[in-house]
A = this chain, B = another copy of it.
Amino acid sequence: MSQTPEKPDESNPQAHVPKAIVSRLSLYLRELQHLVRDGAETTSSTQLGKLLGFTDAQVRKDLAHFGQFGYPGIGYRCAELIEAIRKILNTNRSWRVGLVGVGNLGRALLGYRGFSQQGFEVVAAFDLRRELVGTRIEGIEVFHLDDLPRIAQQRDIRLGIIAVPAEAAQSVADRFVEAGVEGVLNFAPVTLSLPGSVRTVGVDLAIELEQLAFAVANLGKSR
């Protein structure tokens, strides 16, 4: 999924953590949040693993990268482990997000409750279409794209979401960079060229289907 270059960084041990482990932290976090919602106070590597289809050893090994979280005879305290993972992911604080492209996908993303649940607050949307400017979609104000630098500064926008067609994605990315955004989530099926100071994660929805096709075909062969 991710197109972020992995550069070694001697000063920060977390920068060495393989991306696959960071991805799994998000999965553990989500399961822990579901467990808490369902009333659980503690869990175990076995339970977490079972919920996600990993071995308990995998869960323990992943978490051991970041510290010692389990208690003998108890397992993990859900609330404590949630807090620890959010601290590692840096989502224990709120991130302000701007979104460009208010088509079907943009609208779906503006209405996606999962973002705010995890600490991401979309504080402004942008589009080129004059008829959309000044309206509110899912409660979020729509501005003209030319206002991005001003609004980004006023509202402390640090992450950007690109929900425009492929051919417009790079120019929107450049606008985000000019506006001082630190990270870009890109839904357009193109690889962006960005300065090293800006991180990007690409969401190519066809990749998810390809991964599913691989899983289905290889399950088939094993029967």
Give me the interface of A with B, judged by CB distance under 8 Å. 1-7, 9, 11-12, 14-15, 18-20, 22-23, 25-27, 29-31, 34, 51-54, 88-91, 95, 97, 103-105, 107-109, 111-112, 114-115, 117-118, 120, 158-159, 182-185, 189-191, 197, 199-201, 203-223
Complex-state Cα separation, A89 to B88, whole angstroms: 33
Complex-state Cα separation, A88 to B213, whole angstroms: 10
Please give the distance in Å from A181's CB to the nearest CB on chain B.
9
How many copies of this chain does one complex carry? 2
Complex-state Cα separation, A104 to B208, whole angstroms: 19
Complex-state Cα separation, A25 to B111, whole angstroms: 32
Whether the pair A218, B9 counts as a contact (CB closer than 8 A) is: yes
Return chain B residues, CB-CB under 8 Å to A218: 9, 12, 14-15, 90
Whether the pair A2, B118 counts as a contact (CB closer than 8 A) is: no
Whether the pair B222, A9 counts as a contact (CB closer than 8 A) is: yes
Contact A209:B51 (CB < 8 A) given known A9-B222, A114-B204: no
Whether the pair B104, A207 counts as a contact (CB closer than 8 A) is: no
Complex-state Cα separation, A34 to B202, whole angstroms: 15
